[in-house]
Amino acid sequence: MDLSVKIGYCVLDHPIMNASGPRCTESSELCDLLFSDSSAIVSKSCTLEKREGNEKPRYYHNQYLSINSMGLPNNGYNFYIDIIDKINNHKTKPYIISVAGLKLDDNINIINEIHDKVISGSIKNIGIELNLSCPNLINKGQLAYDFENMDIYLSSLFSKVNIYHINMFGIKLPPYFELHHFKIVSDILKKYPIDFITTINSIGNGLYIDHIKENVVIKPKEGLGGLGGSIIKPTGLSNVFNFAKYFTDCNIKIIGVGGIEKGSDVFEYLLAGASAVQLGTHFYKEGIKCFTDLKEELVQIMKEKNYNQISDFKGKVVLDNVFI
């Protein structure tokens, strides 16, 4: 059975990887991912300088959801570039660096230094995921909701960066809720050399109250934070489904995120049009064994349905057999 998928110039052994955020900040965590069944290693979103992030407590989860206001804690971009050699010496699993500079010039510098690192040696399978959708920076909005400025931003970025030797370059997007927004964003993205989008980032500015303690569960932003977990899966699926409609005439692939906990969830995202998926909250709760579990569950579903490869069913959700 062939589970492989191609995004840009990277070939993934199967479509399941980690999402930037949980368990991918430190060297030991990235090495755990290297030797796990995750099809790629996605780093923590990195900034120019090391950041401690927002005050604690800044993360909470229960059976149904997670809420966080991390504030981009990370070790600074040099840390995530320097570890490339260590990863490359062991395996050729794709390594995707999540880039989240706090201003345009930061991202230009980071991306160009990653590119320089790649062309300086024989390093392969390096990707970049540009995060334009962090909802948890205090007093800073999400650029990906400001369509005109996002277009201007990307135009300036791509005029000043060299990504020729980057094997896959993508944009991490927030959830969109108005149907006409998908065409607007798609038309913008198709103007640039983008291989994939990652959708969705957490749903921003949710609020969870512990009714027993009569209090919010995280401290930053008066308890407001990005929502993840199983409750956001319908929104994640919707964003994949709606973007897929507009990418049939280009090579932009979709990595789906949001509420994935079982192999059937992966299957649903692929049916909706995703080429791959990322695990966030579930990975945080279950650890690296989740990649093996979900891959095996996906294989079992494909066997039961007589599918031999992902392309047999990707994007083929049936709309004319709606049960009421």
Enumerate the active-site residues: 134
Q: What is the DSSP letter of 2?
A: B
Strand partners, 59: 68
217 token code pair: 């569960």
CA dihedral sign, ordered 238, 243, 249, 253: negative
Cis peptide leading into residue 87 (ω within 30°): no
49 token code pair: 């300088």
Give CB contacts under 8 A, 24+ apart, made by 318-323. none
Determine contact, residues 36/30, Cβ cutoff 8 Å: no
CA 239 to the chain's CA centroid? 13
Determine contact, residues 26/80, Cβ cutoff 8 Å: no
